[in-house]
Chain A
Amino acid sequence: MILAQLVFYLLAFVTVAAAVMVIAARNPVHSVLFLILAFFNSAGLFILLGAEFIGMLLVVVYVGAVAVLFLFVVMMLDINFVQLREGFLQYLPVGALVGLILLVELALVFGSIAMEPALGGAAVSATEAGVTNTEAIGRLLYTDYFYLFQAAGIILLVAMIGAMTLTMRHRPDARRQDIGRQVRRRPGETLEVRKVPPRTGI
């Protein structure tokens, strides 16, 4: 069990430290990198708990989200792209550090599970025996938590309506493609054949 605790404390410590660095880092790009580190570590904690589905979800969803967030940071903070590329190598130490920590942790997690198979969620089982994580969550979502699941759906619908209400503008002068009109057009309406006498323009 001492190994499990070691892994837990390592993951927890790095999560907290990375979270602190997210707000402490002066450079927004560093913040984003530390955010990724924090997410990976939280995913590791979930896997230690035996909730591998949520762990994987965290990585899949948040790595996608972080990519978007990264774009937002770059877009909204008005960072000069040329400058960003110029100094790209200066991020190498931070990036390498993050990568190294991740590598060590992965090795630790999988190494410890290999050494002590009981570690992979057997200590605290979140689900009944023989039911996978995904299945258990699915069962709960569509039965006990059906109401909340639907409510979350309505909230997302409102978020969509809101985003469109606040940002979409109808520009009458914008040029849009109207396929119907394009197809209906006949050469006679637009083309005019003229005889051009030599040496004079139209």
Chain B
Amino acid sequence: MNAAMIDLAPALPEVFLFVAGLVLLFLGVFRERDGLSVVNPLVVLALLVAVVLTIGADKGPVLAFDGHFVFDDFAAFLKVLIYVTAALGVMMAPAYLADARMGRFEFPLLALFATLGMGMMVSANSFLALYMGLELQSLSLYVMAAFQRDSTRASEAGLKYFVLGALASGMLLYGISLVYGFTGTLSFDLLARSFLVGEGAAALPAGAVVGLVFVIAGLAFKLSAVPFHMWTPDVYEGAPTPVTAFFAAAPKVAAMGLVLRLLFQPFGDWAGQWQQVIILVSVASMILGAFAAIGQTNIKRLMAYSAIGHVGYALVGIAAGGVAGVNAVLVYMAIYVVMTLGTFACILLMRRHGRYVEGIADLAGLSRHQPGMALILGILMFSLAGIPPAAGFFGKLYVFLAAVDAGLVWLALVGVLTSVVGAYYYLRIVKIMYFDEPAEAFDTMARPELQGIAAVAAVLVAGFLLLPGPLLSSAEAAARALLP
């Protein structure tokens, strides 16, 4: 406790986002009518400025706010990923919002505050900071899910998400209280040091293990991993499509980053205690994601099960552990958000007679009417299925290689088998687009931002093989920062 000024430099991107949020809130309130069209681009701009600030900051690692906040290469990698995806997610929204007559300026602001929460999550260095970031993110997301308040489906989605989210927060807090009770500290640094007791030392107190399991359960909910996935399909389907697109990308990265830091820093020496839990969750997610998606007819619901499956694959990397495992998870999440954003940009372009459609059957014959969009969606589906040479294949490859190196051959095998099952429903979409009896054409819309995002995503996943260097090297640096 000293009288010196609090050093804000490590948290500069977050401080900037917060101040920008407050200023834009005022701006939106005073603009009333055209609030959305003014605030939305400015929120995108603010997020991009935060990306620049993150890249330019000193990646020490440095601690701030009495050790509650940490900024290192790991946080920087995830923050760049989160802020860019959030900016793209916000960019995709306004046209749909205006069409659905819910074009209010609060939407981009809630997204901004949610993103701020995600930034706080990946920089959290104590359980309290973790919880605060998580709640800031979740609360904003609850409101976004119910944003279309005239629609019963959206309200139901918001309410479901809120009630189950509150339950998950309860489990998380219970776990945190147990860990605190048995170790006497909430700081990740102190936890890591108090557990670091060398060979043959005392085991982790049983209460702390139980607490850790509860914490993992609470975080698994945010990741939508089985058995805490029940909310995902309903919320994905019920929420307005831009909200679903936002949900599917940045929050998953933030939650994964949180799990990584929590498991590898304070509890890094106790991998034996949490590895089985992660393996169980991972296997269950992969299997459910592969089989439950087969019967779906709504493409947003399909993407929900797809997200569950992909989280399962990413968790394989955590179970494998080590720099290779963490590296694989980071690469996997980066590729996953690119694929997801591209796919949702295509879904947002599915409009017929002025109404947005979500059925998989509506895609029939897309190759005839809009060959460009069919090609893009086809590439993204191949990548989601994990078929070489698309990026999705390499994401899975790194994860499975890490698992094999860690001696978890059977886990990698389960992953490969479920990928084969999962490929069925991704390729079915390609088949419907190219070979089925054509349905009526979609409206031709001039949405350069959506078409641009979809095209760039397709180019990125198709061309990953040519230029994998930048992503791999920055993920490697991030993984080394997490595991010194």
Residues of A within 8 A of B (CB): 139, 143-148, 151-152, 154-155, 157-159, 161-162, 164-166
Is there contact, CB below 8 Å, between B139 and A151? no
Contact of A161 among B64, B106, B146 (CB under 8 A): B106
B68 touches A147 (CB 8 A): yes
A147-B135 Cα distance, complex, nearest whole Å: 14
Given contacts A144-B1, A165-B104, contact A158 B65 (CB under 8 A): no
Contact yes or no, A151 B133, CB < 8 A? yes
> Is A148 a contact of B139 with CB atoms below 8 Å?
no
**B384 nearest CB across to chain A (Å):** 32
When distances are taken between beta carbons in the complex, the residues of chain A under 8 Å from B132 are 148, 151-152, 155
| Sample (12) of A-B pairs whose CB atoms are under 8 Å apart | A145-B128, A146-B6, A147-B64, A147-B65, A148-B68, A151-B120, A151-B132, A151-B136, A158-B139, A161-B110, A165-B106, A165-B147
**Would you list which residues of chain B between 3 and 27 have a CB under 8 Å from chain A?**
6, 18, 25
Tell me which residues across on chain A come within 8 A of B116, comparing CB atoms: 154
Assess A162 versus B139: contact at CB under 8 Å? Given A139-B1, A151-B133, A154-B116.
Answer: yes
Bound: A75/B463 CA distance, A: 60
Question: Closest approach, in angstroms, between the C-beta of B124 and any C-beta of chain A?
Answer: 10
Number of interface residues of B (CB under 8 A): 29
Residue among A145, A148, A151, A162 with most chain B CB within 10 A? A151
Could you say which residues of chain B place their CB within 8 Å of the CB of A148? 68, 128-129, 132
**Interface 1/0s, chain B 65-78, versus A by CB < 8 A?**
11011000000000
Among B104, B109, B136, which residue has its beta carbon within 8 angstroms of that of A155? B136
Are B140 and A162 touching (Cβ within 8 A)?
yes
Across-interface contacts of A164 in B (CB, < 8 A): 106
Q: Which 10 pairs from chain A and chain B are nearest by CB?
A: A147-B65, A162-B143, A151-B132, A165-B106, A144-B66, A147-B68, A143-B1, A158-B113, A155-B136, A158-B139
Q: A165-B110, A166-B146 are in contact. List 4 more A-B contacts (CB 8 A).
A: A144-B1, A147-B64, A147-B68, A151-B132
* A165 contacts across to B, CB distance below 8 A: 104, 106, 110, 143, 147
- Residue from the list B1, B65, B66, B139 in contact with A159, Cβ < 8 A: B139
Q: What are the interface flags for B104-147 relative to A under an 8 Å C-beta threshold, 1 for contact and 0 otherwise?
A: 10100110010010001000000011001101100110110011
Question: What residues on B are CB-neighbors of A158 within 8 Å?
Answer: 110, 113, 136, 139-140, 143
Q: How far is the CA of A83 from the CA of B18 in the complex (A)?
A: 51
Question: Is B149 an interface residue, CB under 8 A from the partner?
Answer: yes
Distance in angstroms between the alpha carbons of A144 and B68 in the assembled complex: 9
Of chain B, the residue at the smallest CB distance from A157 is: B113
> Which residues in B have some Cβ–Cβ distance to A below 8 Å?
1, 6, 18, 25, 64-66, 68-69, 104, 106, 109-110, 113, 116, 120, 128-129, 132-133, 135-136, 139-140, 142-143, 146-147, 149
Minimum CB–CB distance for A159 against chain B, Å: 6
In the complex, are the beta carbons of A151 and B143 less than 8 A apart? no
Q: How far is B66's CA from A144's CA once the two chains are assembled, in angstroms?
A: 6
Q: Which residue of A lies closest to B147 (CB)?
A: A165
B25: contacting residue among A145, A159, A161, CB under 8 A? A161
Closest chain A CB from B15 CB (angstroms): 10
Chain B residue nearest to A152 (CB atoms) is: B132
Contact yes or no, A154 B110, CB < 8 A: no
Interface-central residue, B104, B116, B143, by most chain A CB under 10 Å: B143
- Pairwise interchain contact B66-A147, C-beta atoms closer than 8 A: yes
A159 CA to B110 CA, complexed, in Å: 10
B143 touches A161 (CB 8 A): yes
B349 to chain A, nearest CB (A): 27
Nearest chain B CB to A76 CB, angstrom units: 14
A164, closest chain B residue (CB):
B106
Complex: A166 Cα to B136 Cα, angstroms: 17
Complex Cα spacing A89 to B241, Å? 54
Residues from chain A with Cβ under 8 Å of B69 in the complex: 147
Chain B CB within 10 Å — which of A143, A144, A154, A155 has the most?
A154
Q: Which residue of B lies closest to A147 (CB)?
A: B65
CB of A160, distance to nearest CB on chain B (Å): 10
CB distance from A128 to the nearest CB of B (A): 12
| Smallest beta-carbon distance B70→chain A, Å | 11
Which residue on chain A has the smallest CB distance to residue B25?
A: A161
Min CB gap A150→B, angstroms? 8
Question: In chain A, what residue has the closest Cβ to B109?
Answer: A161
Contact B139 A155 (CB under 8 A): yes
Q: How far apart are the CA atoms of A80 and B372 in the complex, in Å? A: 62
